[in-house]
Amino acid sequence: MSYAAVPDGTLAAVVTYLEMHAAPANSPPPPSPLTLQPLPPGLDAYRGLFRLVGARWLWFSRLARSDAELAAIIEDPGVDIFAVMDGGEQAGLLELDFRVSGQCELAFVGLVPERAGQGHGRWLLGEALRLAWRQDIHRVHVHTCTLDHPAALAAYCRAGFTPCGRAVETFPDPRLNGLLPRDCAPQVPLLGTDATASPAPASCA
């Protein structure tokens, strides 16, 4: 056994890649009062929902992109983005990426923390797979990491995905470079040379 130190201001996560090559024959998930609605166009609308759903799990990749870089992704006709709606309130995000021919990546699948643990995740993943398996698709894939919701990996396996790879990812803590507020993800200790500085005025949703 060996250990590698993680520098101050840096986070490390184990990433697991999963895939499936045929639509699962699982019975449909229980119904949910939540619904899917195409996300209105606009960078602000996307970033707001991305933060709302992902800040708790330190999702930051899309927040680090410039306007032009982000627009090139979310405005691509091969990318489908849905808001999970609870009545008139946004409660989750589903992003499907069809830009590679014959494949669909579940790029982002998540609910706001207040809706977790109530069975809605099974419904959302079932909807994601229903939308992913188009006629010309032969592979659906997704990845998760040890900073995500602790039930995420088991949920993907239960839905029919098979783990196919693993990697270690390191990156600057997004709470220290201004991408996310410092009070996000309290389950992940904030360590760094300026970790004791005054918190940013913004707050995690």
Best CA proximity match to 41, nearest among 92, 78, 82, 69: 82
Helix, strand or coil, per DSSP, at residue 86: strand
HSE of 204, CA atoms in CB hemisphere, 13 A: 21
pLDDT in tens, the chain (205 residues): 889 899 999 999 999 999 999 999 866 777 889 999 999 999 999 999 999 999 999 999 999 999 999 999 999 999 999 999 999 999 999 999 999 999 999 999 999 988 777 778 899 999 999 999 998 999 999 999 999 999 999 999 999 999 999 999 999 999 999 999 999 999 999 987 665 554 444 445 4
Q: What is the pLDDT of residue 113?
A: 85
Q: What is the pLDDT of residue 101?
A: 97
Best CA proximity match to 39, nearest among 105, 113, 111, 90: 90
Q: Give dist(CA 184, CA 178) in Å, integer.
A: 12
Query: Which stretches of the chain are assigned E, i.e. beta strand?
Result: 10-20, 35-38, 79-86, 89-97, 103-111, 139-145, 162-172
Q: What is the pTM of this model?
A: 0.91
Residue spans of the domains in the chain: they are 11-172
What region does 160 belong to: left with phi over 0, alpha with psi -120 to 50, or beta?
A: left
Q: What is the pLDDT of residue 31?
A: 84
What architecture is domain 11-172?
Answer: 3-Layer(aba) Sandwich (3.40)
| Cβ within 8 Å of residue 194, ≥6 positions away | 9, 176
How far is residue 125 CA from its own chain's centroid? 12
Q: Give dist(CA 169, CA 147) in Å, integer.
A: 11
Q: Give dist(CA 111, CA 157) in Å, integer.
A: 18
| Cβ within 8 Å of residue 153, ≥6 positions away | 16, 144
Helix, strand or coil, per DSSP, at residue 158: helix
Q: What is the pLDDT of residue 152?
A: 95
Query: Which stretches of 27-138 are assigned E, i.e. beta strand?
Result: 35-38, 79-86, 89-97, 103-111
